[in-house]
Copies of this chain bind each other. A is one copy, B any other.
Amino acid sequence: MIKVVILGAGNVATHFFKAFKKAENVEVIQVYNRSEASLEVFKSNTQTTSDLAKLKKADIFLVCVKDDAIEALISKLSHLDGIVAHSSGSVPLSTSAKRNAVFYPLQTFSKQTEVNFKEIPICIETSVAKDLPVLKQLAHSISEKVFEISSEQRKKLHLAAVFACNFSNYMYSIAEDLCNQNEVPFEVLSALIKETAQKATLHSPKSVQTGPAKRNDQATIKQHLAQLNNADYKEIYKLLTQSIIQQDGKKL
Which residues of A are interface residues toward B (Cβ below 8 A)? 90, 106-108, 119-121, 123, 145, 147, 149, 152-153, 155-157, 159-179, 181-201, 204-206, 208-214, 220, 223-224, 227-228, 232-233, 235-237, 239-240, 243-244, 246-247
Contacts and interface: CB of A to CB of B under 8 A. Distances in A.
Contact of A171 (B106, B167, B235): B167
Best-surrounded residue of A164, A179, A236 (most CB of chain B within 10 A): A164
Given A169-B200, A210-B108, A182 B161 contact: no
Nearest to A227: B159
A168 B171 CA distance: 6
A179 B169 CA distance: 19
A168 B166 contact: no
A158 B171 CA distance: 14
Given A90-B220, A157-B188, A206 B149 contact: no
B191 A163 contact: no
Nearest to A232: B243
- A120, A174, A177 — which one has the most chain B CB atoms within 10 A of its CB? A174
Contact of A176 (B168, B206, B212, B220): B206
Contacts of A228: 159
A153 B108 contact: no
Contacts of A164: 171-172, 175, 189, 192-193, 196
A176 B205 contact: yes
A228 B102 CA distance: 24
Contacts of A223: 155
